[in-house]
Amino acid sequence: MGAKIIINKAGFHLFYLAAIIFLSGCHAYVLDDAQHDLRSSFISGDYQESSKLLQELEQKEIYKSKDAVLKNLEAGLIHHFAGNFDSSSIFFDNAEILIDDAYTKSISRGFKAMLVNDNTLVYDGEPYEDIYLNAFKSLNYVHQNDWEGALVETRRMAFKMEQLDIRLKGLAEAFAREDTTGRVKWESGKVNIQNSAFSHYLAAILYAKTGKPDDSRIEFEKLAIALREQEKINKRSPAKITDLEKIRNPHSYNVLITAFSGQAPIKKQEDFRLWLNGENDNSFYVKFSLSKIDLYRSRVQNIRIVNDSLQRSDLELIEEMDVVSAEVYKAKIPIIYTRSLLRATIKATGSSYLASSVRDKNKGMGLLVDVLGILGQESSEKADLRGWQTMPGKAWMNVINLPTGINEIEIQYLSASGSILYSEKRTIEITEQTKLGLIESIYSY
Amino acid sequence: MKYAILSTLLFGLLISGCRPTNKINRINPSETTDLSGRWNDTDARMVSEEMISDALTKPWLNQHNRQHQQSPVVIVGNVRNESMEHIDTEVITKEMERAFVNSGSVNVVASSDERQDIRQERLEQQEFASLETMKEMARELGADFMLIGNISSVVDETPDRRTLAVFYTVNLELVNVETNQKVWIGNKKIKKLIERRNYRG
């Protein structure tokens, strides 16, 4: 009788813990939906509405403190395209500081993630998100005519890109140090890019315009290297360096046009379920969820600008941010997979051990614990699909020379067949003092 | 039930972590406060102090006084930030201006940004101020030297990003406006080793 009471207590507590874990797993799905809604709102181009939606999600505590990096990244970009450059830089600053803080914490926070899943952890930003936030910060500074500030951001971007490979290897080494199970080998993939064409393109222009031709030349040479690196991983050919020579001559242009197309890569969940044979004819259930990254297929194949006098020129595809992001993510995949596998194995082994102990005393109760174990794994095992939803997919740039006065520029987003998918007109005032005007545009489809 | 409460508490602790509370203390501005490891007021003060004492004791000042029988006039030009942080270089140049003016040995004139408002004011005085108080045009003091410079940094970090070494170099130069001759070059190096800790798991 006494034994029966103990088993009932154990069953009750297991059920209770499973319920709590199940409920905690729910939030991750709510956040996934919120991310989807925010992406849809942003691509519609109504940035006031997107800003409102983000505030609502924050008020409803869907973005919790652990998701602060995400919230700041989204707010940074929404404010950037809404023209609130000061606010945008503040949000991106916050995101950058939080990423820095979270990175060092992330290594020694394994235990909590082993109990539930990565969604319960502080989101420390993907390495590519950490890099591209500086791209938009640098544009914020250019909009505000603070070129020194913009150059600080391009330098940060270049530094982070150069450090990527070392950083991912460092992450794998740190996890290996923390992992006391000794069951798995921690390693990262190789990152095949070390230069950002976007940062070097912008820096070459800014140095040229600030009377530092030598620095501009160095940035231009790095741009050539970056384009060669990207050519190896890109889906299509990036700009040819010979077509970009113009940026080194600061007197040949007074306006920089930057356009963004497409969307950030989409993280998706892949579930794997296995029945494995353990000791004493006991089979146990393992579920693990992995996140994979899918590229958004933009219909935009070319971007053209048409000025007042109907002169046309194409923008150059400078950086396929989405492809670079996928490449960087690919290098992190071995770490993500190892973590998921290790977590699933620990959970499955734990629940199987518990079920077998209970089964020895009460077969029926053992079966119940088995079922609870499966339910617990099903509800708690979820891939971390958090990511910067509003980040654009591709960056296109070019420089042009406009006459003094008010100029109207039409930016046309073209399909593979050359038909106009979307166009928008922008006006810019050029005075004798204008050294570098910036026109920015985005079409997310 | 006791176990249920304990389980909830344990789970709550895992999820929530610790919440910070705000506590504010007024401290001496000259006290060193290194919080994030980034460039801060202490670095700016260290640079200013060294640059000021160096600039005011080097031969250029006596040479100018001997040659011209009057104190030199300095204008602050552009001190470029070529580092990887957003550094307000005006904090350093303002400190230098203050030290120059207060020393009585160096005259300082308004920088190109500052003088726009002053020129506008003088222009308006020609129309609106009384004759007795109106200031004359074309009486500005021409600068003998311009203060220019740059701040650059080199960053090195361990793969796990827990240890970061930042090396700042600040160069300031006084250039003769007439001859382009550099009469003084000041240099200050600051090296910081930043150990990042985990705040919570």
| pLDDT under 50: residue ranges of chain B | 13, 16-18, 199-201
**How many structural domains are present in chain B?**
1
Cα distance from N-terminal residue to C-terminal residue, chain A: 67
Could you list the pLDDT tens digit for every one of the 445 residues in chain A? 444 444 455 555 555 555 555 555 677 789 999 999 999 999 999 999 999 999 999 999 999 999 999 999 999 999 999 999 999 999 999 999 999 888 766 655 555 556 667 888 889 899 999 999 999 999 999 999 999 999 999 999 999 988 887 777 777 777 777 666 666 677 777 777 788 999 999 999 999 999 999 999 999 999 999 999 988 887 677 888 999 999 999 999 999 999 999 999 999 999 988 877 766 666 778 888 888 999 999 999 999 999 887 789 999 999 999 999 999 998 888 888 888 888 887 777 777 777 777 777 887 887 887 788 788 778 778 899 999 999 999 999 999 999 999 999 999 999 999 999 999 999 999 999 999 999 999 999 9
Q: Is A100 on the interface with B (CB under 8 A)?
A: yes
User: Which tokens is A54 given?
Assistant: 């983000």
A104 — contact with chain B (CB < 8 Å)?
A: yes
| Residue B190 domain flag | yes
Looking at CA atoms only, how far is residue B105 from chain A in angstroms?
A: 32
Residue A363 touches partner B, C-beta closer than 8 Å? no
Contact B15 A155 (CB under 8 A): no
Report the alpha-carbon distance of residue B177 to residue A121 in Å, rounded: 59
Note whether A166 contacts B: Cβ–Cβ < 8 A: yes
Give a yes or no: residue B45 inside a domain: yes
Per-residue 3-state assignment (H helix, E strand, C coil) for chain A: CHHHHHHHHHHHHHHHHHHHHHHHHHHHHHHHHHHHHHHHHHHCCCHHHHHHHHHHHHHCCCCCHHHHHHHHHHHHHHHHHCCCHHHHHHHHHHHHHHHHHHHHHHCCCHHHHHHCCHHHCCCCCCHHHHHHHHHHHHHHHHHCCCHHHHHHHHHHHHHHHHHHHHHHHHHHHHHHHHCCCCCCCCCCCCCCCCCCHHHHHHHHHHHHHCCCHHHHHHHHHHHHHHHHHHHHHCCCCCCCHHHHHHHHCHHHCCEEEEEEECCCCEEEEEEEEEEEECHHHCEEEEEEEEEEEECCCCCCCEEEEECCCCCEEECEEEECHHHHHHHHHHHHHHHHHHHHHHHHHHHHHHHHHHHHHHHHHCHHHHHHHHHHHHHHHHHHCCCCCCCCCCCCCEEEEEEECCCCEEEEEEEEEECCCCCEEEEEEEEEEECCCCCCEEEEEEECC
The answer to whether residues B153 and B177 touch, using CB atoms and an 8 Å cutoff, is: no
Helices (H), chain B: 2-16, 41-57, 59-68, 90-103, 112-128
As for the ipTM of the complex, it is 0.78
Contact across the interface for A103 and B86, Cβ inside 8 Å: no
* Contact (CB, 8 A) for A444 and A261: yes
**Binding-face residues of A in 170-199 toward B, CB within 8 A:** 170-171, 173-174
Domain count, chain A: 1
Say if B137 falls within a structural domain: yes
CATH number of the domain residue B120 falls in:
3.40.50
Domain membership of residue B164 (yes or no) is: yes
Query: B21 lies in a domain?
Result: no
Q: Do B155 and A20 touch (CB under 8 A)?
A: no
From B199's Cα to the closest Cα of chain A, the distance in A is 7
Show which residues on chain B lie within 8 Å of chain A, measured between beta carbons. 3-4, 7-8, 11, 14-15, 36, 80-86, 155, 157-162, 196-201
Domain extent, residue A313, equals: 2-443
pLDDT digits (tens, 9 = 90+) for A186-215: 777 777 778 899 999 999 999 999 999 999
Give the span between the Cα atoms of A276 and A284, in whole angstroms.
Answer: 5
Range of the domain at B181: 39-195
Sort out which chain B residues have CB atoms less than 8 A from A186's CB and list them. none
**Beta-carbon separation of B197 and A169 below 8 A:** no
For residue A113, the model assigns a pLDDT of 56
Q: Please provide the distance, in angstroms rounded to a whole number, between the alpha carbons at the two ends of chain B.
A: 28
